[in-house]
Each structure stands twice: as structure tokens, then as C-alpha cells.
Amino acid sequence: MAEEGERKAALEVQADGTDGNCVTFVLHDEDHTLGNSLRYMVMKNPDVEFCGYCITHPSESKINFRIQTRGALPAVEPFRKGLNDLMGVCQHVLNTFERSMKEYRAQREEEMQ
Amino acid sequence: MATKRGTGEMRDRVVLGEFGVRNVHTTDFPGNYPGYDDAWDQLRFEEGFRVDVVREEDDALEFDMVGIDAAIANAFRRILLAEVPTMAVEKVFVYNNTSIVQDEILAHRLGLIPIRADPRLFEYRNQGDEEGTEIDTLQFQLKIKCSRNPRAAKESSDPNELYFNHKVYSKHMTWVPLGNQTDLFPDADFRPVHDDILIAQLRPGQEIDVLMHCVKGIGKDHAKFSPVATASYRLLPDIALLQPIEDEAAELLQKCFSPGVIEIQNVKGKKVARVANARLDTFSREVFRHEGLKNLVRLARVRNHYIFSVESTGILPPDVLVSEAIKILMGKCQRFLNELDSVPME
């Protein structure tokens, strides 16, 4: 189903290097929808050396999401920034879409009269 | 100069060659192209992004999203298909079914009927909860019995004359309010979206008496919960004529594309072909079958211009569906941001 009732970790760390620069996150109940869009946003970050995701098995709905940073930046930072940037994109898309719908309807009202 | 133009095409066009498609993947990540700053810049994105609504009908919406990447456009499409919730019949309590449609087939058909109920007014049912509560369940009843018409003519063979109620339509489904639903939804009218969906056929003496529970669910769980008839997108076509094409070649070129794409103008007495409206083309690639024309045309698609087509099943209007899909993607991001903040990462 969509949302779980009891407390279940949606995010855990599967493997990480000694200094926190390379981390593999396991995201539960996710697939290409969030995986690919988040991968795109994290790749747009110039501090990221490697970013990729894979679906471990098609019968399980979880993805392994790996981030490697260049330099001494902990890998959680680009992950957080990617999520925030994706939220920003969605918010802007929502605002623009609703504004365009309003303008389109207003224009059609005018044409009808 | 030439290299800048070459990389320009690589960055923003997907080229359709004769035997394959080139430049498919997004490559504009930081560091790939010297001289380009590809790091994520919200302001640059906002300047380049726009949404143009092309057509809106009752249940169908066509709009353009320009300036966004495939990953995010595809995420919206996937969410529209599988993760926007709706209400649909989940449990069917069969009290009497003497029709020739088996119980499970009847239940399956009832589940696929779209129910006009705003899913945002309801909650998901808790797992393991067998009884429905008024905040997560809608109850419908279908009680119908077929009988013979005593006043029918003796030689008539038309079932509409001979029998009463021999066709069971979705308009025979009636809402049975649970608990305080009449107070919660005073002017709500919960019924199937379409009245004329044929559920089963009966003959005299057969009857169907079932009680149905509708719950909120998503398309990932079962396709009956999907709110769209379909949601798809295509990229904007871009047709470039590499050399001027005249006379018979121009006529042939016009026939190679969908009507309205190529128009023929009269320039100084000669007929010259010009691309009028590339958006109408469906890219049948007929040009590549003509030796004389195939090197004179470049077929491509604009990488960041998506023509979305959303057709709703009638439960929610299509623009509401798109807004909900965007909010669901935001919800997913927020969920992981909350997880990051609540669990300290070691």
C-alpha cells in the first residue's frame, strides 16, 4: 500500500567508506520515480564525483543510492542539497503550472464573450 | 565556432538518424563541457522554465513543459499513472448472486468502475482493519432483480420488451452512507463517474444483491486505482532542412511528413519547401526511404520541451491531477529530509 502504519526506517546506510565521502543509501519504498530525478539533481552538484542508483531486485521496492564526493565533503551534504533542490524545482513547477492554467482559463473566458 | 555549434546540438537535441537515435542521454552535468557552467542554478532554471496550456477539455489536458529535464518530467508521468490516489471498490460482500456472471468476475468488474469521490476527503485504511470506518470507506449497494414483463407481445423477441431490469448498469449502484457520513458530506453525491457502464445481464428470476466497500488506494497497488485513462508525453519535434528543396522534391518532401508540417511557398516562380509546423509531425521517418531526400533533412527532437497529454477517468479534473502529482513528488523529498534530520547519520 502507500504509507506504512508502524515505524519502519525509510532510509538507511548500507556501505560507507572510512571518511564519509562515499556512502550508499538504501531508500525503501522507492523506485525510478524518485531515484532518477534525485540522481539528476545530485549530479548537477559540482562537488559530486559519482552518483548513481540501482534497483536491487524488481520484487523488492527499494533502491541503492550511492554518492561519492570529491574533496572532504561528507556525502550526506549533496544528498540533502539534492532533495532540497528537487523540492524547489517541484514548487516552482507547481506555481508556474497553476498560474498558466489560470491564465489559459481567463483567456478562454474572454474569447467566449 | 563550429565546435560550439556541434556541442549545442549535442546538448539540446535528440537526433533521429536513419538507423538509430543519437544523443539520447542528458550530458549537461558539471565538468562535461568546457566553457559551460552546468551546476544547478535555481534562478537560471526559473528563467528558462515555462508551462503553456494548449488545450483543455472536460477530461483531457494538453500542455507543454519547457526547460525541464527528462528525469523530472518522467517522474511526474510515473506519479500520474501509479501514485495519485483514488477511491475504488475493494471488498464486495455478495449476499445473493444468481446471475451467470461468477462472483469473482462480478467483483473484478465492480472494482474497475471509476467512482466519483474526491480521494482527498478520505484517509487510507489501516492495515488489518476489516470493518470500514466512516473516514476511510464508502459503501455502495447494488440490488437488482430481473422479472418478466407480463404486458409484452406474444411473438416479440426483443429483450427490452420482454424483461424488466435485464441489464445491470452502474447507475443501479446506490450510495449507502456509513456512520455520520451524511453529516460529514452533506451535499456530496457519491456515485460512479459514468451511468451507462454495463456490469452484467440478467434473465427473469436472476438477481444480484451485493454490498461494496470502496477504499483509497494507488495505481501501484492495483490498476483500478489509477486516476488517468492515460498520461503520456512526447518531445517537441524539430525538422531542419539542410539545403533548399524545390519543385518536385518539395512536393515529395511534403508527402513524407504529416499534413501541415511542410508548406510549399511560391518564391520567384519556383516552389520552395518550408517547415511550417514541426509540432504536428509523428516522425514516421518516411524521408529516409527516399535516396534524394534523406541527406537534406535533419530530424531531431528538442531535449527539454515536453508535450504532456493527460486524460482523466473523470474522478478528478486533469489539472488537479497534475498538481497532486507534483505535490506527491514534494512529499517524497520531504519524507527523506525528515528521515535525515531525525536519524543521526554516523
**A62 neighbourhood in chain B, CB within 8 Å:** none
Report the distance separating Cα B152 and Cα B337, nearest Å.
Answer: 70
**How would residue B187 be classed by pLDDT, with cut points 50, 70 and 90?**
confident
The pLDDT assigned to A64 comes to 94
- What is the value of pTM for the model shown? 0.91
Report the distance separating Cα B111 and Cα B217, nearest Å.
Answer: 12
The pLDDT assigned to A113 comes to 87
Report the distance separating Cα B17 and Cα B15, nearest Å.
Answer: 6
Report the distance separating Cα B313 and Cα B80, nearest Å.
Answer: 12
Mean local confidence (pLDDT), B211-231: 95
**B31 neighbourhood in chain A, CB within 8 Å:** 46
Share of residues in chain B with pLDDT > 90 (%): 73
pLDDT at B49 over 70: yes
Decide: residue B16, CB within 10 A, 0-12 exposed, 13-18 middle, 19+ buried.
buried
The pLDDT assigned to B188 comes to 81
The pLDDT assigned to B7 comes to 77
Query: ∠ CA A38-A40-A41 to the nearest 5 degrees?
Result: 65
Say if residues B93 and B107 touch (Cβ distance below 8 Å): no
pLDDT at B280 over 60: yes
Which of these, B128, B111, B302, B250, lies nearest to B192 by C-alpha position? B111
The pLDDT assigned to A38 comes to 95
* SS3 label, residue B181: helix
pLDDT at B3 over 90: no
Locate the chain A residue with the closest alpha carbon to B37. A46
DSSP label at residue B258? -
pLDDT in tens, A36-60: 999 999 999 999 999 999 999 999 9
pLDDT at A7 over 70: no
Chain A nearest CA to B181, separation (Å): 24
Say if residues B38 and B284 touch (Cβ distance below 8 Å): no
Q: Do A44 and B40 touch (CB under 8 A)?
A: yes
The pLDDT assigned to B344 comes to 61
Report the distance separating Cα B304 and Cα B234, nearest Å.
Answer: 10
Of B49, B53, B217, the CB nearest to A101: B53
Average pLDDT, chain B: 91
Which of these, B229, B233, B267, lies nearest to B247 by C-alpha position? B267
Report the distance separating Cα B119 and Cα B225, nearest Å.
Answer: 10
- Nearest-10 crossing angle of helices B318-342, A76-112: 160
Report the distance separating Cα B68 and Cα B236, nearest Å.
Answer: 13
Q: Which of A13-27, A96-110, B69-83 has the lowest mean pLDDT?
A: A13-27
The pLDDT assigned to B107 comes to 96
pLDDT at B1 over 60: no
Of B31, B40, B330, the CB nearest to A85: B40
**How would residue B294 be classed by pLDDT, with cut points 50, 70 and 90?**
confident
The pLDDT assigned to B5 comes to 59
Say if residues A14 and A24 touch (Cβ distance below 8 Å): yes
Mean local confidence (pLDDT), B324-330: 96
Query: ∠ CA A53-A55-A61 to the nearest 5 degrees?
Result: 125
Locate the chain A residue with the closest alpha carbon to B52. A100
Cα-Cα-Cα-Cα dihedral sign, residues B161, B162, B163, B164: positive
Which string of b and e fits B173-208 if b means at least 16 CB within 10 Å?
bebeebeebeeebeebebbbbeeebebbebeeebbb
pLDDT at B199 over 70: yes
Cα-Cα-Cα-Cα dihedral sign, residues B162, B167, B168, B174: negative
pLDDT at A74 over 60: yes
**B73 neighbourhood in chain A, CB within 8 Å:** none
pLDDT at A1 over 60: no
**B26 neighbourhood in chain A, CB within 8 Å:** 40
The pLDDT assigned to A13 comes to 82
Mean local confidence (pLDDT), A65-79: 90
Say if residues B275 and B297 touch (Cβ distance below 8 Å): no
The pLDDT assigned to B346 comes to 44
Of A45, A80, A104, the CB nearest to B337: A80
pLDDT in tens, B116-168: 999 999 999 988 888 888 899 999 999 999 999 988 888 888 888 899 999 99
**A88 neighbourhood in chain B, CB within 8 Å:** 42
Locate the chain A residue with the closest alpha carbon to B61. A101
Which of these, B64, B170, B76, B188, lies nearest to B134 by C-alpha position? B188
Mean local confidence (pLDDT), B289-308: 93
pLDDT at A3 over 50: no
The pLDDT assigned to B151 comes to 86
Chain A nearest CA to B238, separation (Å): 24
Chain A nearest CA to B106, separation (Å): 24
Share of residues in chain B with pLDDT > 70 (%): 97
